[in-house]
Amino acid sequence: MSEVLSKNEESIKIEKIVKFHRSFDDMNQSQREDWLKEMGDINIEHFFKANQRVFDEDGPRERSIPRRDFFLDVIKNRVKSDPLLQPKGHPVTNYLQENIVIRELCNKIQAAFDAQDFSTYNMTLMFLKELAKIHTHYLRKEDQLFPYLEKHDFTYPSTGMWKFQDEIRANLKMVTKAVEAKEVNEEMATLLKDVVQDVFDMTTREEKMLLPTAVKLLSNDEWQKMSKEEKEIGYVFIQNPPLWPEDTSKKADMASSLGAIFLQEGALSQEQLNLFFSALPFDVTFVDENDRVAFFNKGSERTFLRSPGVIGREVKFCHPPKSVDTVLKILEAFKDGSKDTAEFWITFGGRLIHIRYFALRDESKKYKGVIELTQDITDIKNIEGERRLLDWA
């Protein structure tokens, strides 16, 4: 009986949070404060379940500043969760250690800029460029943590938080450029303060909501897999953390048990296939007919980083929110047979990148998936004349 009551009470709490989300914009500050008093402390599970439900049923919404600030305060002071106590090298511990440095950088930037001294421009610029490395921290979340959360139906971070992180990255580039040019007007000064505060507040969202929720949802086995995958993207602001859990097992030699894989013409061993794809001068990603990532090659220098955590992930969660609609449009056209290819070219990191999509169809023309090829064509585009002789100079 007590278990039934507990589940009923949980449903009531979640329903109250859902209703509050939906009526927030129609309430005045006094009504919002009354709701807080009525709710008291909010359990992390109630909070993330309510947020996910609103996201599933209502879709993403534009966050006003009052809404953003109010719910950030709720996350800071009202949502209760267990302490994030994990061993050294655990993915959660790695995020927490990086956050310590991130907050220190935010404080240094704000202090340097507040000094309003010309000599502090260089210092502010130095700290901003260092803070821009936060991209790696966010990338681990987007390519590794989010895919595991999606498997437990917690999909809000893959769109809502990712979109916010894209905004932070874009604004950091903008203010860094302005500081570098010593052209910081009143509007840009406000943006600088806002983006630094956004970065700082993101660490709070991680430690008070995202990571406690992840600890609740993910199994120890999932955390161990994530720990092995993290090194694919790397770390920022911290040295390579110790291996967790410590691997004392010896890898068995499987080479002798590997047979040939027969292809259209000829056959290759698994080792040969891996070497073949690793040597290709472009990135290959295969998404199956169910829109899930099934394969990507691991060349020595990929244009866009990939983590093993994306395998099995829905492709709509593998792209920044601003480009998802384009990806889905391509898939729809491939599936209905109206298109077989799509291509784009962009400037990324000062290089010209050519991105192509090819629909895969079987003998009966049934759609079986899509291949994405990404290639740095900067040097190819600059080729002129002819080279007919071997030149290794």
Q: What is the pLDDT of residues 212-266, one digit of tens each?
A: 999 999 999 999 999 988 888 899 999 889 888 876 444 334 333 446 777 777 7
Torsion of CA 127, 132, 137, 143, to 10 degrees: 180
Q: Are 74 and 42 in contact (CB under 8 A)?
A: yes
Q: Report the distance separating Cα 233 and Cα 146, nearest Å.
A: 14
The token duo for 35 is 């709701």
Q: Using one digit for the tens of pLDDT, what is the confidence trace for 313-360?
A: 998 888 888 888 899 999 999 999 999 999 999 998 889 999 999 999
Q: Is the peptide bond before 281 cis (omega within 30 degrees of 0)?
A: no
Domains of the chain, residue spans: 11-80, 91-230, 261-381
Q: How many other CB atoms sit within 10 Å of the CB of residue 330?
A: 19
DSSP assigned state of 257: G
Classify residue 149 as exposed, middle or buried by CB count within 10 Å of its CB (0-12, 13-18, 19+).
Answer: buried
Q: Using one digit for the tens of pLDDT, what is the confidence trace for 276-303?
A: 888 898 899 999 999 999 999 987 677 8
Q: Are 79 and 50 in contact (CB under 8 A)?
A: no
Ranking 54-63, 254-263, 377-386 by mean pLDDT, the lowest is: 254-263
The answer for residues whose C-beta is within 8 angstroms of residue 199's C-beta and 6 or more apart is: 102, 106, 131, 134, 168, 172
Mean predicted confidence (pLDDT) in 82-109: 93
The token duo for 151 is 């498997």
Amino acid found at 157 = P
CATH domain 91-230 topology: Four Helix Bundle (Hemerythrin (Met), subunit A) (1.20.120)
Mean predicted confidence (pLDDT) in 37-61: 82
The token duo for 212 is 């406690």
Q: Report the distance separating Cα 2 and Cα 194, nearest Å.
A: 47
| DSSP string for 85-103 | ---TT-HHHHHHHHHHHHH
Q: How far apart are the first and last CA of the chain?
A: 82
The proportion of the chain whose per-residue pLDDT surpasses 70, expressed as a percent, equals 92
User: Residue 250: its pLDDT value, please?
Assistant: 40
User: Residue 256: its pLDDT value, please?
Assistant: 38
pLDDT surpassing 90 at residue 200 = yes
List, in sequence order, every beta strand (DSSP E) within the chain: 42-43, 79-80, 260-262, 267-269, 283-288, 293-296, 341-348, 351-361, 367-376
Helix H or strand E segment including 123:
helix 120-131
Looking at every residue in the chain, the average pLDDT score rounds to 86
Burial 273-285 (b: 16+ CB within 10 A, else e): eeeeeeeeebbbb
User: Residue 116: its pLDDT value, please?
Assistant: 64
| 3 pLDDT tier (thresholds 50, 70, 90) | very low
Which has the higher per-residue pLDDT, 195 or 243?
195
The token duo for 165 is 């992180």
Question: Tokens 């990191």 map to which residue?
Answer: 349
The interaxial angle of helices 91-114 and 120-131, nearest 10 deg, is 160
Classify residue 238 as exposed, middle or buried by CB count within 10 Å of its CB (0-12, 13-18, 19+).
Answer: middle
pLDDT surpassing 70 at residue 22 = yes
User: Residue 231: its pLDDT value, please?
Assistant: 85
Mean predicted confidence (pLDDT) in 18-25: 86
Q: Report the distance separating Cα 271 and Cα 177, nearest Å.
A: 46
| 76 pLDDT tier (thresholds 50, 70, 90) | confident
Domain 261-381, second-level architecture: 2-Layer Sandwich (3.30)
The proportion of the chain whose per-residue pLDDT surpasses 90, expressed as a percent, equals 42
| DSSP string for 287-342 | EETTSBEEEE---SS-SS---GGGTT-BGGGSS-HHHHHHHHHHHHHHHTTS-SEE
User: Residue 352: its pLDDT value, please?
Assistant: 94
The angle formed by the CA atoms of residues 249, 250 and 254, to the nearest 5 degrees, is 130
pTM: 0.71
Which has the higher per-residue pLDDT, 239 or 116?
239
pLDDT surpassing 60 at residue 193 = yes
Q: Are 343 and 357 in contact (CB under 8 A)?
A: yes
Mean predicted confidence (pLDDT) in 361-371: 91
Helix H or strand E segment including 262:
strand 260-262
Short-list 270, 267, 266, CA closest to 257? 270
Q: Report the distance separating Cα 237 and Cα 102, nearest Å.
A: 8
Residue 298, CA distances (Å) to 258, 270, 278, 307 in order: 20, 14, 5, 10
Mean predicted confidence (pLDDT) in 84-109: 94
Q: Using one digit for the tens of pLDDT, what is the confidence trace for 153-181?
A: 888 888 888 989 999 999 999 999 998 88
